Amino acid sequence: MPLDFKKEYEQLSNEELLKIVRQADQYQREAVSTAQEVLNTRDVTEEEENKVDRHFYNIEAEKQAVKDTKEAAKKAVSSKLQEVVNPFNNNDGKPKPVLWLNMFIIAWVGLYLWKLPGDIKILYYITQADYDFVWDHFFIFLILRMFFIPLTSILLYKRSLWGWKLLSFYSIFQLGMALPIILGMIKGSHLSSGTSTQFFIGCGFYSLLVYFLFKPEITALFKVTKSIKRKVILNTLIISLIIALLLR
């Protein structure tokens, strides 16, 4: 075996042999000893040794750079997760608006994922039904909701004004649609116990959502002006009331 190595290694340059010797753990013992034996018969210049040194230095530098990049990415992800999980982790002990928004986006997406299987099942049954479902308002709202939450989540994450407008419109629209029902209840109409509970939970949820979206700290993130707020509220209420009356 050594003779085979020697015949092959005698054809190699000094730099190639030095690399074999420097990486002894990656070669067979006979290969390393043969490489060293061939080197001992040659004149190895300082320039050749320096060139091999630089070669291994560059390899180690690249490894360290990759390691540092991975560590930096890991710290960045950990920091972002920590901000979301613990929004009070700052000097004044108060949550930052952007962290509240991030927590809301996570909850918003979680709600979507929770309702998605049920929506798909309902959508399947509707499409299998023996009637024209294309213009059914329930079907239209179901389709819109399936695309609405992912769209608003992306826009909110990117701090887009349209994300704030769409979600504000959606929340106020839900409350506007509920007004005729509330007025009917005041006049004497009644909902079933289960339906009534679900109705008021929904109203409470969308009321809190409107309150959250219209907080100055949140609107500042999207550069929402007072004029934009007024237009969104007024236009949405008008549209929702008209639709609610038409669907009655």
Tokens found for residue 229: 């707020």
Which burial class, exposed, middle or buried, applies to 100 when counting CB atoms under 10 A from its CB (0-12, 13-18, 19+)? middle
pLDDT value for 85: 54
Q: Smallest Cα–Cα separation from 209: which of 95, 101, 86?
A: 101
Tokens found for residue 72: 């930096």
Separation between Cα atoms, residue 141 and residue 124, nearest integer Å: 15
pLDDT value for 1: 42
Answer yes or no: are the C-beta atoms of 34 and 9 closer than 8 Å.
yes
pLDDT, one tens digit per residue, over 129-179 is 665 555 566 677 777 778 888 999 999 988 999 999 999 998 888 888 777
pLDDT greater at residue 226 or residue 89: 226
Least confident among 49-53, 176-180, 182-186, 221-225: 182-186
pLDDT, one tens digit per residue, over 94-133 is 557 788 888 888 888 888 888 888 888 877 777 776 655 5
Separation between Cα atoms, residue 43 and residue 35, nearest integer Å: 14
Give the amino acid at 122: I
Separation between Cα atoms, residue 93 and residue 86, nearest integer Å: 11
Answer yes or no: are the C-beta atoms of 213 and 167 closer than 8 Å.
yes
Separation between Cα atoms, residue 248 and residue 181, nearest integer Å: 10
pLDDT value for 174: 83
pLDDT greater at residue 176 or residue 215: 215
Tokens 């509220």 correspond to: 233
Q: Provide CB contacts within 8 A for 9, sequence distance 6+.
A: 17, 20, 31, 34, 35, 38
Answer yes or no: are the C-beta atoms of 177 and 138 closer than 8 Å.
no
Flag whether pLDDT at 88 surpasses 50: no
Flag whether pLDDT at 191 surpasses 70: no
Mean pLDDT within 191-213: 79
Flag whether pLDDT at 198 surpasses 90: no
Torsion angles phi and psi, residue 99, rounded to 5: -75, -35
pLDDT, one tens digit per residue, over 33-69 is 998 998 898 888 889 889 989 998 999 999 999 999 9
Answer yes or no: are the C-beta atoms of 232 and 162 closer than 8 Å.
no
Answer yes or no: are the C-beta atoms of 14 and 39 closer than 8 Å.
yes
Separation between Cα atoms, residue 233 and residue 227, nearest integer Å: 10
Separation between Cα atoms, residue 1 and residue 32, nearest integer Å: 12
Mean pLDDT within 83-87: 53
Does this model's pTM top 0.95? My answer is: no
pLDDT, one tens digit per residue, over 6-25 is 888 888 898 898 899 998 88
pLDDT value for 194: 54
Going from the C-alpha of 41 to that of each of 31, 91, 201, the distances in angstroms are 16, 68, 89
